[in-house]
């Protein structure tokens, strides 16, 4: 400790100039804070666009597969597994020195047809056991973490209706973690959901985490997805959630961050992939381009969010954006198909947006304003 403190004090006088030198890559800028991740689709895993691949390599040290590790892809038919893309992702991440957050073992959505059609509880339990055991053991030393259960809760904190709740009861969550832990003892195990920063749903997530812990089963972290709207980022709820979740002894992560700038067709925020609304021109106001005022608002929203994350960096393990460029965001087609959204840090030409620059600047200001104080906090 003393030695480290001395070292830092010494460095501070010599390296003032180098410390204030801007770091233009996200992963380097935030290297003392948390991992910076992105979601990747099939084309990105195949490195179809070299320029996009370069951005991924430059800015991110963590990766989450957007779709290819979901059950409908990994086990399209009963007992027939397809690991091709997942294996490619693991290789890619290894080459690039990125950690993989595998997403997701148990989720009510994007299930294979044979599971959706199941009527018997025994069949569902067998799928549940076989899928978790087979998939988690295959990737046990290859992925850093798993979203073991995704989206098990309703907005009011009760359990969401799903084939797993229906056939196995509320205990399916604990059971999933137990099975994953048994075959993959070194992999970090997470619960992941949207809107769990909201007080009622947060209480549900806290209940689930406590159930897992009370059963003597390991849970390492909780992922707040972070699909928000630029007009309504719930900063206070987010901060309270960081504190309350981390008080349970788990790592907090923001796992699918994107900030929509388009009108929300619903009364409240949701990221339910099953929620759909009809297209009309009013719902797509920025089809040609994004006004500067909205671009600025988006950038300010991102800046305030990430400043809040940095404030609590000791509790936060990873921030993952749900994609790299606006062109590839799922928010162009959800919840309304065919819109032009601008939720990420890079534009459709793969140029960094104002939001990107403001995030990088957070760190430049921090290091020039706080000097060694910032370093010592680590």
Indicate which residues carry an active-site annotation.
151, 256
* CA gap 154, 161 in Å, rounded: 8
CA distance 371 to 161: 51
The nearer residue to ligand XIL, 135 or 362, going by C-beta atoms, is: 135
> In the chain, how long is the greatest CA-to-CA distance?
70
Min dist CB 153 to ligand XIL, Å, is 13
Among candidates 359, 229, 339, 346, which has minimal Cα distance to 294? 229
Cβ atoms of 153 and 208 closer than 8 Å: yes
Q: How far is the CB of 371 from ligand XIL (least distance, A)?
A: 40
Q: Are 150 and 107 in contact (CB under 8 A)?
A: yes
Region 107-146 residues binding ligand XIL, contact defined as CB under 6 A: none
Query: Pick from 368, 367, 39, 26: which is nearest to 223 by CA?
Result: 39
Residue numbers 65-94 binding ligand XIL by CB under 6 A: 66-67
From residue 193 to residue 232, the character string flagging contacts with ligand XIL as x (rule: CB under 6 A) and all else as - is --------------------------------x-------
Among 61, 75, 101, 150, binds ligand XIL (CB under 6 A): 150
- Using the minimum distance from each CB to ligand XIL, give the nearer residue, 101 or 225: 225
> Tokens 């800015």 appear where?
59
Closest approach of ligand XIL to the CB of residue 110, in Å: 7
Residue 72 CB, nearest distance to ligand XIL (Å)? 10
Instruction: Name the residue number minimizing CB distance to ligand XIL.
Output: 330
Which one of residues 34, 330, 342, 346 is an interface residue with ligand XIL (CB under 6 A)?
Answer: 330
Q: How many residues bind ligand XIL (CB under 6 A)?
A: 8
- Tokens 């706080």 appear where? 370
Output 164 or 330, the one with its CB closest to ligand XIL: 330
Q: Smallest distance, Å, CB 322 to ligand XIL? A: 6
Instruction: Among 98, 196, 271, 299, indicate the residue that binds ligand XIL (CB under 6 A).
Output: 271
User: Which alpha helices (DSSP H) does 143-198 contain, by range?
Assistant: 163-168, 172-183
Taking the least distance from each CB to ligand XIL, the nearer of 62 and 354 is: 62
Rounded least distance, CB 223 to ligand XIL, Å: 9
Cβ distance to ligand XIL smaller for residue 68 or 354 = 68
349 secondary structure, DSSP code: T
Task: Collect all residues with Cβ–Cβ distance below 8 Å to 230 and sequence separation of at least 6.
Answer: 259, 260, 261, 294, 297, 298, 301
- Interface mask toward ligand XIL for 225-264; x: CB under 6 A: x------------------------------x--------
User: Closest approach of Cβ 271 to ligand XIL, in Å?
Assistant: 5
Among 273, 277, 294, 350, binds ligand XIL (CB under 6 A): 273
Cα separation, 109 vs 116, in Å, equals 9
For residue 52, what are the CA distances in angstroms to 46, 56, 100, 268, 293?
A: 11, 6, 18, 33, 27
279 to 318: interface string for ligand XIL, x by CB under 6 A? ----------------------------------------
Question: Are residues 245 and 222 in contact, defined by beta-carbon separation less than 8 angstroms?
Answer: yes
| Burial degree of 329 (CB within 10 A; 0-12, 13-18, 19+) | buried
* Number of Cβ atoms within 10 Å of the Cβ of 107: 21
- Residue for token pair 């320029």: 51
Q: Which is nearer to ligand XIL, 348 or 357 (CB)?
A: 348
Residues that bind ligand XIL (CB under 6 A): 66-67, 150, 225, 256, 271, 273, 330
């Amino acid at each position: 400790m003393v030695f480290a403190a001395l070292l830092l004090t010494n460095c501070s006088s010599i390296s003032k100039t180098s410390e204030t030198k801007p770091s233009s890559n996200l992963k380097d800028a935030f290297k003392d804070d948390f991992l910076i991740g992105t979601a990747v689709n099939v084309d990105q895993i195949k490195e179809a666009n070299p320029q996009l691949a370069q951005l991924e390599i430059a800015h991110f040290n963590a990766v989450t597969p957007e779709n290819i590790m979901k059950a409908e892809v990994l086990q399209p038919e009963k007992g027939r597994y397809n690991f091709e893309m997942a294996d490619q992702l693991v290789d890619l991440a290894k080459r690039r020195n990125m950690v993989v957050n595998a997403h997701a073992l148990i989720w009510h959505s994007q299930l294979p047809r044979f599971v959706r059609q199941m009527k018997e509880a025994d069949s569902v339990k067998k799928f549940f056991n076989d899928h978790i055991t087979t998939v988690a053991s295959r990737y046990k030393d290859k992925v850093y973490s798993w979203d073991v259960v995704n989206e098990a809760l309703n907005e009011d904190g009760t359990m969401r209706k799903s084939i797993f709740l229906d056939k196995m009861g509320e205990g399916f969550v604990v059971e999933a973690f137990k099975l994953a832990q048994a075959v993959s003892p070194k992999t970090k195990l997470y619960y992941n959901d949207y809107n769990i920063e909201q007080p009622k749903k947060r209480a549900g997530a806290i209940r689930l985490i406590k159930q897992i812990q009370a059963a003597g089963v390991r849970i390492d972290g909780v992922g707040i997805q972070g699909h928000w709207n630029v007009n309504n980022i719930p900063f206070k709820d987010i901060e309270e959630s960081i504190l309350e979740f981390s008080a349970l002894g788990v790592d907090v992560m923001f796992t699918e961050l994107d900030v929509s700038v388009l009108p929300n067709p619903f009364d409240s925020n949701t990221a339910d992939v099953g929620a759909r609304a009809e297209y009309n021109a009013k719902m797509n106001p920025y089809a040609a381009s994004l006004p500067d005022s909205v671009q600025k608002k988006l950038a300010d929203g991102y800046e305030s969010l990430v400043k809040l994350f940095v404030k609590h960096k000791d509790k936060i393990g990873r921030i993952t954006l749900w994609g790299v460029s606006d062109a590839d965001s799922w928010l162009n087609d959800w919840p309304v198909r065919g819109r032009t959204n601008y939720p990420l840090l890079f534009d459709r030409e793969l140029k960094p947006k104002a939001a990107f620059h403001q995030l990088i600047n957070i760190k430049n200001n921090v290091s020039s304003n706080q000097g060694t104080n910032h370093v010592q906090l680590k």
